[in-house]
């Protein structure tokens, strides 16, 4: 990206910060939140309620940020392409950032369904609750890698 394109550089900087922030937020859910939930001797209902609180907070923020950030990366890629600037890193960053959505639907949604109530409170055994919460944390760490990759690709493109 040419340094003489200030609005484009600002837009790229915002997306780079947003994907880095999303990566940190997603990672912190698994690295700090899940072990905290699992560490105590709380009954399964309490563990699932704590996980649900964390899950719903993340669900209200992260998918929207991922989609908007992907669109912004793709717009930046298009504008760079139209100005004969390097654009591929931004396009790939958009794809990487957006990939959080299909990853969630493919790999994590079933675990979510097993822990989220449908009309009434679900009761899980302590072993089931611990196993599902740990599985969700592990899958979420893998999902957090995606915006980290997007951040790296965008930074690479930005520094050209």
pLDDT per residue, tens digit, the chain (160 aa), is: 654 668 999 999 999 999 999 899 999 999 999 999 999 889 999 999 999 999 999 889 889 999 999 999 999 999 999 999 999 999 999 999 999 999 999 999 999 999 887 756 667 899 999 999 999 999 999 999 988 999 999 999 999 8
How far is it, in rounded angstroms, from Cα 112 to Cα 126?
A: 17
Q: Is the dihedral of CA 32, 35, 39, 40 positive or negative?
A: positive
Main-chain phi, psi angles of 91, to 5 degrees: -65, -45
User: 146 Cβ partners below 8 Å, 6+ apart?
Assistant: 23, 96, 97, 99, 100, 103
CA angle 31, 34, 36 (to 5 degrees): 95
Share of the chain above pLDDT 70, in %: 94
Are the CB atoms for 69 and 15 separated by under 8 Å? yes
Question: Residue 116: what pLDDT?
Answer: 86
């Amino acid at each position: 990206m040419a340094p003489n394109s200030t609005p484009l550089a600002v837009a790229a900087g915002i997306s780079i910060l947003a994907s880095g922030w999303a990566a940190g937020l997603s990672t912190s859910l698994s690295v700090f939140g899940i072990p905290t939930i699992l560490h105590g001797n709380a009954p399964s209902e309490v563990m699932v309620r704590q996980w649900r609180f964390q899950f719903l907070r993340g669900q209200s923020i992260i998918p929207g940020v991922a989609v908007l950030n992907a669109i912004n990366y793709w717009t930046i890629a298009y504008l760079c392409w139209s100005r004969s600037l390097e654009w591929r890193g931004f396009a790939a960053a958009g794809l990487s950032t957006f990939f959080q959505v299909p990853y969630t639907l493919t790999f994590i949604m079933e675990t979510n369904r097993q822990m989220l109530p449908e009309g009434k409170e679900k009761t899980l055994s302590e072993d089931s609750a611990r196993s599902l919460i740990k599985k969700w944390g592990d899958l979420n760490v893998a999902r957090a890698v995606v915006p980290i990759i997007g951040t790296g690709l965008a930074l690479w493109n930005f520094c050209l």
